[in-house]
Amino acid sequence: VIGTDYAKVLAEAKPDVVVDAGPDFLHGPQCIAALEAGCHVLIEKPMATSVEDARKLIDAEKASGKIIMVDYTMRYSHPWGTMMNAAKNGDIGDIFYLAGFYIHDMWDWYDVKGQYTTPWRIDKDNPQNILFGGGCHGLDMVLYVMEHVPVKEVFCAGNRLSGSNMPIQDCFLVTMMFENGAVGKIFVSSGCNRGDFGAMFEAYGTEGTLVDGKLLKRTAEPVELPEPTKIGVGHGWDLTVRDFLDVLDGKRDNWMNSTFGARNTAVCDA
């Protein structure tokens, strides 16, 4: 079924699953409608662009009895996902500082003549907020490691000084204080002049540090973390789909559930 009326397409197609990879601001209303139509939902990050939509999504998920999974692909990407898991598993002891990054030169995406141009990102009425749409990657890793520690305080500053075509801010610095005293930082720049993709995650603990795919300790040589799976940076989509299907079949826990999605949105929206 093909059409421009989303509600009509849902009603006619009667899908079991909806995958929403459209513009960020539509994720909330489109996925709520999908849940109300009885569909499981795989949502391209971010889950929502407001706390209000995130709450509505969770309410719709509970009411429908269906499942939401949010596609945080960087969890599958080496070395960043590998470092994230090492930090969560306690390999560096008690964590006192974490940093997440989204340093991505996106001028080509913002250029209407660019190879990767995606006009919706720079739409004057509903442009992509890159803190939600990109910064959520690094933030997700930080929040996954600190899954059971509430965020106590959030501060954010941003600017639009890079000269890109983005009509709103394309540079953000977020600092967080966790309830246990640990601090976190998220740096986001999509207007940076570098032509590539930067680091995504690092963590510092009482028994070691995780930086650039290495475990560092004061009294030992750096240890290169082994790569568990060969995946191109940023693209773990095949593994996301595999895990989503396994969740639906009851074969694994939903490790990218709506709670993670809502918490991520709440920090960005703070």
| Residue (of 209, 207, 184, 174) closest to 98 by Cα position | 184
Domain count, the chain: 2
Question: Contact 120/26 with Cβ under 8 angstroms?
Answer: no
Both structure tokens of 100 = 């997440």
- Are residues 151 and 24 located together in one domain of the fold? no
Is 231 a domain residue?
Answer: no
| Tokens at 71, concatenated | 């596609």
Residue-wise pLDDT tens digits, 84-119: 999 999 999 999 999 999 999 999 999 989 999 999
* pLDDT-above-70 percentage for the chain: 97
- Among residues 12, 22, 78, the alpha carbon closest in space to that of 49 is found at 22
User: Does the residue 252 lie in any domain?
Assistant: yes
Q: How far is CA 108 from the centre of its chain?
A: 21
| C-alpha span between 113 and 264 (Å, rounded) | 32
Same domain (yes/no): 240, 264: yes
Reported as a single tens digit per residue, the pLDDT across 193-228 is: 998 888 999 999 999 999 999 999 998 999 999 988
State yes or no: pLDDT of 233 exceeds 90. Answer: no
Q: Based on the domain organization, do 124 and 243 belong to the same domain?
A: no
Segment 147-161 shows an average pLDDT of 98
- Domain range for 62 is 1-73+236-270
Residues with Cβ < 8 Å from 90, sequence gap 6 or more? none
Q: Are 141 and 230 in contact (CB under 8 A)?
A: no
Q: What is the pTM of this model?
A: 0.94
Are 105 and 196 a contacting pair, CB within 8 Å? yes
